Structure 1
Amino acid sequence: MSQAKSGDTVKIHYTGTLTDGTEFDSSKDREPLEFELGSGQVIAGFDKAVTGMEVGDSKSVTIPPEDGYGPRNDEMVHEVPKTALPDDLDPEEGMGLQARGQDGQVFRLTVISVGDESVTVDANHPLAGQDLNFDIELVAIA
């Protein structure tokens, strides 16, 4: 059997959990995830975990933040005046928002608190700073 290597298109089934056991994503009950190894389509630790696997192999891995969504950065938490938000928006804790930077780049934000005059938003990826546990099964190599 051949081993998965950079440049191969692979199909995998996976379940991702946090260290407390909370499941944050899974391909069960869906089609397998398909991606090209080494192309940057998935987090670096995921690429590393699948590289060298053979079809039918299963493994469990823990991916540290530096190979996942990076460390948490407190400088990415901002207080925004409510006047800067659309008039029809009623912000709530946990709500996802999008903002566009001056260069046109879109940022995903999560509302972490709502005050009388302002809203505090977090631009960190929700999984930043966390160890990610994955159970992975290689289904196919194309």
Structure 2
Amino acid sequence: MTQNNITTFTNPNEDTRIAQGSQVALHFSVSLENGIEIDNTRSYPEPVSLVIGDGNLLEGFEKALLGLRAGDRRTVHLPPEDAFGPWNPENVQSFDTVQFVKAGDTTPEIGTMMEFQDKGGGTLAGVVKAVNDDKVEVDFNHPLAGRNVVFEVEIAKVTPAGVSGVKLG
């Protein structure tokens, strides 16, 4: 923390607990309840680093980290509401097949991931769920929406919010 141009340092301390604004270095894995792994950072040469509350990690995952310290491990089973959200039937849209042909595309195959432009100019990813002669059904839900997931984490380092340096030795 900087006050009147004075930098505040802290000593590394295994008792520092994760709180909002903490800088955290960690390894994690996300899997389905049946054991199928979705993501894993353990093969990375260094732990991933993030700030609690900056929006880069799902809120349910962040809540599971609060109060942990360097060296702690935790396994959390998260319902859809705390992970990637419930599956929403309103996120499944039908398009006329002719729209794909006019755009120069071939009729998509089931399971194909496609990108679409939204009204604001952003990009939306969707998965083709059904194709017939005149309609293509695309699911814009997150691929893990409606699924229970298992979040496993190992905390490597915790730096409190507002700390701009670490004293060594």
Q: TM-score, normalised by structure 2?
A: 0.78
Distance in 2 (CA, whole Å) between partners of 1:93 and 1:9 is: 42
CA distance in 2, matches of 1:112, 1:28: 33
Q: CA deviation at 1:95?
A: 1.5
Q: Which residue of 2 aligns with 1:62?
A: 77
1:131 aligned residue: 148
Cα 1:9–1:90 change in 2 (3 A) is farther
Percentage identity across paired residues of the two chains: 33
Trace 1:66-105 onto structure 2 (pairs within 5 A). Answer: 66-85=81-100, 86-105=103-122
Aligned to 1:24: 38
1:82 to partner: Cα distance: 2.0
Number of residue-to-residue matches in the alignment: 142
Provide the residue aligned with 2:60 in structure 1. Answer: 45
Q: Does structure 1 retain, via aligned residues, the 8 Å contact 2:23–2:158?
A: yes
Q: Give the CA deviation at 1:106.
A: 2.1
Helix, strand or coil: the match of 2:143?
Answer: coil
Deviates more, 1:69-78 or 1:106-115: 106-115
* TM-superposed deviation, 1:17: 1.1
CA offset at residue 124 of structure 1? 0.4
Q: Does 1:5 align with 2:10?
A: no
CA distance in 2, matches of 1:93, 1:24: 21
**Alpha-carbon deviation of 1:33?**
2.5
1:95-134 per-residue CA deviation (whole Å, 9 max, x = no partner) reads 1111112222321111112223321100100111111101
3-state secondary structure, aligned to 2:64:
helix
Structure 1 pair 139/115, CA: closer, same or farther in 2 (3 Å)?
same
Please, what TM-score do these two structures have when normalized by structure 1? Answer: 0.91
